[in-house]
Structure 1
Amino acid sequence: MKKEEEKASRFRTTFRLIQRMTWGFILVLVFSFAVYLGNRAYRELQVSSTFRVKTIAIRGNHTLSRKDLIYYLGLNENSNLLTLDLKSLYRKLISHPWIKNASIHRSLPSTLSIDIEERVPVALIKLGKFYYMDKDGVIFDKINKDVGCDFPVFTGPRDFSEVSAYFPLITEALSILNRKTGLIISEFHLDLNHGITLITLNDALPVRLGRKDLSRRFRRFQTVYHYLRRREIPIKTIDCRYPDRVVVKYIHNASEGKREKTG
């Protein structure tokens, strides 16, 4: 009796093991078949005309042309939307010197949407050659004929290796430039010892602002400058580096005299 029970127990154990193995085998077959069908379906989608790129929607480009952007990204309207590597395309977008921010996404079944934020030049900086600079002080591209060179010029650093030392002065000068003052500035000359000298466009007037308290000094300069301009008094230089006064050098025909005006 005992032997029969042991035999029955072994049989049940073996049966359960075979049952588990059978179900495991069936699950493996089902999973493999599902993977096969999925891969086959994906391959079919990759060549399907349904997901072929028919529209490339680009927004935010003002300087960069649509044609140049599509060529830069290596896109064409026969690409399959599902096979495009969006991460790679995004990295390529933000590596472009004129692009500050970007996003790219698919709009099924056939549209690739690209949104960009371009850098806007507000000045040129002379570093051997002339380069565009945006309001944040980012130097991003050499000048070209399409954008032109009608911008204030920053001088001082001789090349890119010196820019970091001058960056605090660049930032201060840009904060002046970004104000809505109505004053047109042709040049900011930067000097590590003497600070900032700006030169006005209309009368090529050098204005020495120095290194410290630049916001207050610039306001004092504006007050003095507009006062003298209303009276049509010819000026040679204005020096705002003194704590208690603004020093103005006037022009009197052939002779030059120097007087002081407190600002």
Structure 2
Amino acid sequence: MIKNKKLIILIICFASVTVLSFLVFKGITIRNIVVVGNKNLSQREIRSILGIREGHSIIYPSSKTIYERLKKTPWIKDAIIRKDLNGTLTIYIKETTPVAIVMLNGRYYLVDYEAQVLEDFTDKIQNSAIFLPVIKHIDPFKNTETFHEAVNLLNFINYKGLVKADDEVIITGDDPDSLTLYINDFPIIVGKGDFEKKFAKYFVVNAEIQKRGLHVQYIDLRFPDRVVVKPVE
């Protein structure tokens, strides 16, 4: 009997502490929302994504739920959520980086290095200079294989430093095998994959072209055993 009474008292105490803690935490509201690290998304846009504002409970929704809401936005690569009992909700944002502009049917789209379409940039780019490499006439929504291969090629040339900051870079092609890189209007037909081997051969051939002072229409790197150089006729 005594043991049962002690057990009942223990359960009642535990339940009381749990309920009291719930009421205390539930009563803590958000007094201030701080967003850190955003460059492309405005504070207003991030607040809209969060779906919470000052006066809401700081406990609910959970940090996991807030994180999942943020991650649904292509611009946000990662985020850290911090809740302080003084009522401050701090959101640390890590945004992705746009690496190219897709030009398709009169529309302009910003894309990142993972081939994610970040936003329709058409209205913002009017009367502005093109400031990134261009992926031209490749549909990122329908021709996904070619589009991903174009982004892979762009990532490769960026990583290897194959182009200068002021070079005009355009990538186009109907399919992965016809993928063509234009550097300052000069076409290099690259095709799909094996970029390391292909561009190793390109540097050798291009050095010889420069040495001889040749004028060529294009260079084709798609063949495993040779490089095709089309001279100007």
TM-score of the aligned structures, taking structure 1 as reference length: 0.68
Number of the residue aligned with 1:171: 152
How many pairs were matched up?
226
Number of the residue aligned with 2:22: 42
Identical counterparts, % of pairs: 21
Indicate the structure (1 or 2) with the bigger Cα radius of gyration. 1
Distance 1:103 1:132 in 2: 25
Number of the residue aligned with 1:32: 12
Number of the residue aligned with 1:124: 101
Q: Pick closer, same or farther for the CA change 1:206–1:154 going to 2, 3 Å.
A: same
Within a 5 Å distance, the mapping from 1:155-170 to structure 2 comes to 155=136, 157-158=138-139, 160-164=141-145, 167-168=148-149, 170=151
Q: Pick closer, same or farther for the CA change 1:137–1:44 going to 2, 3 Å.
A: closer
Unaligned runs of 5+ in 1: 1-19, 251-256, 258-263
Distance 2:123 2:25 in 1: 45
Distance 2:146 2:190 in 1: 18
Within a 5 Å distance, the mapping from 1:89-100 to structure 2 comes to 89-100=66-77
**Residues 115 and 147 of structure 2 are in contact (CA less than 8 Å); yes or no, is this contact kept in structure 1?**
no
Distance 1:57 1:166 in 2: 37
**Residues 127 and 159 of structure 1 are in contact (CA less than 8 Å); yes or no, is this contact kept in structure 2?**
no
Distance 1:80 1:158 in 2: 44
Alpha-carbon offset, residue 69 of structure 1: 1.1
Which of 62-71 and 87-96 deviates more?
A: 62-71
**Match status 1:114 vs 2:91:** yes
**Match status 1:249 vs 2:227:** no
Within a 5 Å distance, the mapping from 1:138-157 to structure 2 comes to 138-143=116-121, 145=123, 149-155=130-136, 157=138
Distance 1:154 1:85 in 2: 40
Unaligned runs of 5+ in 2: none
Alpha-carbon offset, residue 106 of structure 1: 1.7
Matching residue within 26, 33, 36 for 1:56: 33
AA of the residue aligned to 2:34: A
Distance 1:114 1:185 in 2: 37
Distance 1:58 1:198 in 2: 39
Alpha-carbon offset, residue 145 of structure 1: 4.9
Which of 167-176 and 114-123 deviates more?
A: 167-176
Q: What is the root-mean-square deviation in Å for CA atoms of aligned residues?
A: 3.5
Number of the residue aligned with 1:134: 112
**Residues 146 and 174 of structure 2 are in contact (CA less than 8 Å); yes or no, is this contact kept in structure 1?**
no
Matching residue within 152, 163, 182 for 2:163: 182
| Structure with the larger RCO, 1 or 2 (CA within 8 Å, 6+ apart) | 2
Number of the residue aligned with 2:183: 200
Per-residue displacement from partner, 1:52-94 (whole Å, max 9, x unpaired)?
Answer: 3334333332211233212321232333323442221111010
Alpha-carbon offset, residue 207 of structure 1: 1.9
TM-score of the aligned structures, taking structure 2 as reference length: 0.75
Q: Pick closer, same or farther for the CA change 1:61–1:166 going to 2, 3 Å.
A: closer
Distance 2:117 2:98 in 1: 9
